[in-house]
């Protein structure tokens, strides 16, 4: 699939020429396709995810080199690192939906029912998108309305009382208006005791062909999720990990509730055959509310480090909500100037983001066993202690930016990319507990440059350099806001595309400064003095082994570490320069093999995926606690029983490997799911 998603399909032959413009170009892209950019770009097709039986964003991103899972608030949001960098570990990971920011709020874990494809643009994206991590940018492109009517209903069931329902329908309402709605409903247990999930996701959309040159696209989404916070298991020094199914929270806390809605309205207009403009408005609202009982992490307050069986717990109540309003305007096209072709992209955008953070907490004193639990023989049903206010804060970001980029075709072999973005940000933090307000105003220029050389058809070599930033939250010991994180990154690579093999190889290095860490003069506050570096190699290959067999191979080597000695903001202990970053494996990769055939005359797809993840640091303050390396094999198959009926099967973790996915501390470790078989029936109409 290319960088744009086909949207309109003619119902009558004579309409084909009129409907040629009914496509949806991605913003911040102009007329330069991803494969021509001087950076590594990976696309994951929604159709391929369907064949493999993958239904969530976190597993979808496991098909991308250099992307690893991170601490995710007990399963309540998606969290990942790209090339070693993950952003604020107390918030969901940032990503885009059709070019609009969708990771600034609390939308829960994302289902793939609405996904057309996912693109991961490696390296800093701030020169175009504004804020962002230097590892890369994830943009999810959703399914668009089609004029040709088609629909699908499917039902899946798996081990651990896992049930999922999905539907999709699109049609042309008139010759100029098309409609689509898709979504999913999940009613699922899990291999973890007391951990059940209920989730509903709906995504309606409308595409209006206003004229031959103009179209208007509305895309909405509505998400509801109900799930308890699950911090996982504990792993004590010298002992085997706890039983994978053991739940250490309190069932009486009930579910945490996530409610989110999003609306995107985009206007596309073709000025002429060379120039086009687009404008968009976005509105997102989200909330996360609920209680949790979490293992106390402070060693001085934790009984498990004394007797090896009594786990001291905190009790928390969260009430988070966000409102995110955004707008953008973009002009792109191509022109010849002094005999050289210029692919120009210019635009402006703005957003107004408000985050309400209310948390109440009780935590035990040293030796207090009043809200503890025995990890080997847990007894649930304890009455939670009375909570005290911990945070009651409103944070508001107001920003606008301008960007300009030019991809210059110097010759048939040489192209140069130059770009820059200017951002202005106002940050206001109101602390309602102490009746204090702090404000910060800053401006940022983010440049970008790249060079592409194509010695022969199908082969290109590139080099790029870019700078970026990401605003920091919270305040320092003087009551002032922080300067944003700054990043600088360079990349060298090559891409090739042939009849049988396509792929890319990238060498990269990214540096980050102004990372928040504990203030050395007062560890009760933070200071923006941390530095980190990530460097490594990524390889992505796709090969056709004959007409019906495809092999995909990805490998990443990532060395991500601190660059200066700092004090950890959460633990108050010194972290030396050169310490590895949490959850980042030096070696990881996968091999995916897929074969198409026929069974009794009907199309059959089958294949498997082998995953390898190397050892990773499991706790920032304990350099001796590492999550062991693991290997996992998944199998998948699908067969068309008729033109309208499809049967799919998936086996995750075929060899029932016991492994640990990610960790924040020894007492918050997420175990991997044991062998799970899933069967899905799909009806198409």
Q: Which residue has the higher pLDDT, 100 or 621?
A: 100
Averaged over 214-232, what is the pLDDT? 97
Q: Is the pLDDT of residue 4 over 70?
A: no
The helix/strand/coil state of 566 is strand
What's residue 170's pLDDT? 98
Report which of residues 334 and 526 the model is more confident about: 334
| pLDDT score at 18 | 35
Q: Is the pLDDT of residue 400 over 60?
A: yes
Nearest partner of 636 among 22, 4, 54, 235, judged by Cα: 54
Q: Is the confidence at residue 126, as pLDDT, over 70?
A: no
Q: pLDDT at position 632, please?
A: 97
Confidence of residue 404 (pLDDT cuts 50, 70, 90): very high
Residues 421-450 have pLDDT tens digits of 999 999 999 999 999 998 889 899 999 999
DSSP 8-state assignment for residue 413: S
Please state, for a pLDDT cut of 70, what percent of the chain lies above it. Answer: 92
- What does the pLDDT read at residue 565? 84
pLDDT of 22 reads 40
Helix, strand, or coil here: 116? strand
Would you give the DSSP letter of residue 145?
-
For residue 571, the surrounding DSSP H or E stretch is none
- 133 closest CA partner among 165, 101, 174, 107: 101
Distance CA 81, CA 64 (A): 11
Q: Say if residue 360's pLDDT is above 50.
A: yes
Instruction: Give per-residue pLDDT as tens, 45-99.
Output: 999 999 999 999 999 999 999 999 998 999 999 999 999 998 877 889 989 999 9
* E strand intervals along 520-564: 522-544, 549-562
Is 585 strand, coil or helix? coil
Q: Which pLDDT band, with edges at 50, 70 and 90, does 13 fall under? A: very low
**What does the DSSP assignment read for 202-240?**
EEEEEEEE-SSSEEEEEEEEEEEEEE-----B---TTSP
Mean pLDDT of the chain: 91
Candidate from 174-178, 281-285, 561-565, 663-667 with smallest mean pLDDT = 561-565
Q: What is the pLDDT of residue 526?
A: 64
Per-residue confidence (pLDDT) for residue 440, from 0 to 100: 86
pLDDT at 520: 57
Confidence of residue 527 (pLDDT cuts 50, 70, 90): low
End-to-end CA distance of the chain: 23
In terms of Cα–Cα distance, which of 228, 179, 187, 235 is closest to 205?
179
CB atoms within 10 A of CB 198: 14
For the segment 570-595, what is each residue's pLDDT rounded down to a tens digit?
Answer: 556 677 888 999 999 999 999 999 99
pLDDT digits (tens, 9 = 90+) for 308-354: 999 999 999 999 999 999 999 999 999 999 889 999 999 999 999 99
Length of the chain: 685
Where residue 621 falls among pLDDT bands split at 50, 70, 90?
A: confident
Distance CA 82, CA 123 (A): 9
Which pair of tokens denotes residue 340? 């050289």
pLDDT > 90 in the chain, percent:
78
Question: Which pLDDT does position 276 carry in this prediction?
Answer: 95
Average pLDDT over residues 651-655: 98
Q: What is the pLDDT of residue 514?
A: 86
Over residues 642-656, mean pLDDT: 97
Long-range contact pairs involving 90-95 (C-beta distance under 8 Å, separation at least 24): 93/138, 94/131, 94/132, 94/133, 94/138, 95/57, 95/137, 95/138, 95/139, 95/140
Task: Return the minimum-mean-pLDDT range out of 367-376, 435-444, 519-528.
Answer: 519-528
What is the pLDDT, as a whole number, of residue 507?
97
What average pLDDT does this structure show over 540-568? 92
> Out of 40-49, 83-92, 391-400, 489-498, which region has the weakest mean confidence (pLDDT)?
83-92
pLDDT tens, residue by residue, 180-219? 999 999 999 999 999 999 999 999 999 999 999 999 999 9
According to DSSP, residue 385 is labeled P
């Amino acid at each position: 699939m290319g960088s744009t998603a086909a949207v309109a399909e003619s119902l009558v032959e004579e309409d084909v020429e009129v409907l040629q413009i009914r496509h949806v170009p991605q913003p911040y892209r102009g007329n330069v396709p991803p494969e021509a950019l001087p950076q590594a770009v990976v696309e994951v097709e929604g159709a391929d995810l369907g064949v493999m039986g993958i239904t969530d964003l976190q597993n979808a991103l496991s098909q991308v080199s250099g992307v690893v899972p991170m601490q995710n608030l007990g399963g309540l949001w998606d969290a990942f690192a790209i090339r070693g960098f993950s952003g604020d570990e107390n918030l969901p990971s940032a990503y885009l939906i059709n070019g609009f920011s969708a990771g600034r709020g609390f939308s829960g874990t994302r289902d793939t029912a609405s996904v057309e494809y996912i693109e991961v643009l490696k390296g800093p994206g701030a020169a175009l998108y504004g804020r962002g991590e230097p590892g890369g940018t994830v943009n999810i492109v959703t399914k668009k309305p089609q004029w040709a009517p088609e629909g699908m209903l499917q039902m899946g069931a798996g081990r651990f009382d896992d049930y999922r329902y999905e539907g999709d329908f699109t049609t042309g309402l008139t010759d100029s208006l098309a409609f689509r709605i898709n979504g999913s409903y999940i009613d699922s247990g899990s291999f973890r005791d007391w951990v059940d999930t209920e989730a509903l996701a709906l995504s309606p959309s409308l595409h209006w062909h206003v004229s031959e040159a103009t179209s208007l696209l509305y895309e909405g989404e509505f998400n509801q999720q109900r799930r308890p916070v699950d911090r996982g298991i504990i792993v004590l020094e010298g002992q085997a990990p706890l039983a994978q199914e053991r739940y250490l929270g309190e069932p009486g806390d009930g579910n945490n509730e996530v409610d989110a809605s999003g609306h995107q309205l985009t206007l596309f207009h073709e000025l002429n055959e060379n120039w086009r403009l687009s404008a968009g408005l976005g509105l997102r609202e989200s909330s996360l509310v609920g209680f949790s009982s979490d293992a106390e992490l402070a060693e001085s307050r934790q009984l498990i480090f004394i007797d090896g069986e009594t786990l001291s717990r905190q009790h928390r109540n969260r009430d988070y909500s966000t409102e995110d309003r955004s707008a953008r305007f973009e002009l792109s096209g191509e022109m010849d100037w002094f005999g050289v072709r210029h692919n120009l992209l210019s635009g402006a955008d703005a957003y107004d983001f408000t985050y309400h953070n209310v948390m109440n907490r009780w935590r035990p004193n040293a030796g207090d066993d009043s809200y503890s639990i025995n990890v080997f023989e847990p007894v649930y049903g304890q009455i939670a202690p009375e909570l005290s206010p911990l945070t009651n804060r409103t944070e508001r970001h107001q920003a606008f930016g301008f960007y300009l980029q030019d991809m210059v075709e110097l010759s048939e072999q040489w192209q140069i990319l130059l770009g820059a973005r200017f951002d202005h940000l106002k940050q206001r933090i109101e602390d309602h507990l102490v009746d204090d307000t702090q404000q910060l105003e800053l401006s940022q220029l983010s440049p970008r440059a790249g060079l592409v050389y194509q010695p022969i058809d199908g082969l290109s070599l590139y080099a790029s350099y870019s700078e970026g930033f990401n605003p920091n939250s919270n305040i320092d010991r003087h009551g002032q806001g922080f300067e944003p994180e700054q990043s600088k990154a360079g990349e060298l690579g090559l891409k090739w595309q042939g009849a049988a093999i396509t792929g890319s190889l990238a060498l990269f290095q990214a540096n980050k400064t102004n990372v928040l860490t504990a203030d050395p003069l007062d560890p009760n506050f933070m200071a923006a003095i941390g530095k980190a570096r990530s460097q490594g190699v990524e390889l992505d290959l796709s090969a056709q082994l004959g007409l019906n067999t495809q092999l995909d191979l990805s490998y990443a080597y990532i060395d991500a570490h601190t660059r200066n000695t700092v004090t950890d903001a959460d633990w108050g202990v010194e972290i030396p320069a050169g310490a590895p970053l949490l959850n980042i494996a030096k070696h990881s990769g996968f091999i995916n093999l897929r074969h198409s055939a026929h069974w009794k005359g009907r199309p059959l797809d089958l294949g498997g995926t082998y995953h390898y993840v190397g050892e990773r640091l499991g706790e920032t303050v304990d350099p001796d606690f590492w999550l062991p390396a693991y290997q996992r094999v998944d199998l998948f198959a699908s067969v068309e029983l008729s033109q309208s009926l499809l049967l799919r099967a998936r086996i995750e973790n075929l060899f029932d490997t016991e492994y640990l996915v990610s960790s924040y501390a020894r007492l918050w470790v997420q175990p991997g799911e044991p062998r799970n078989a899933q069967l899905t029936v799909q009806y198409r109409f």
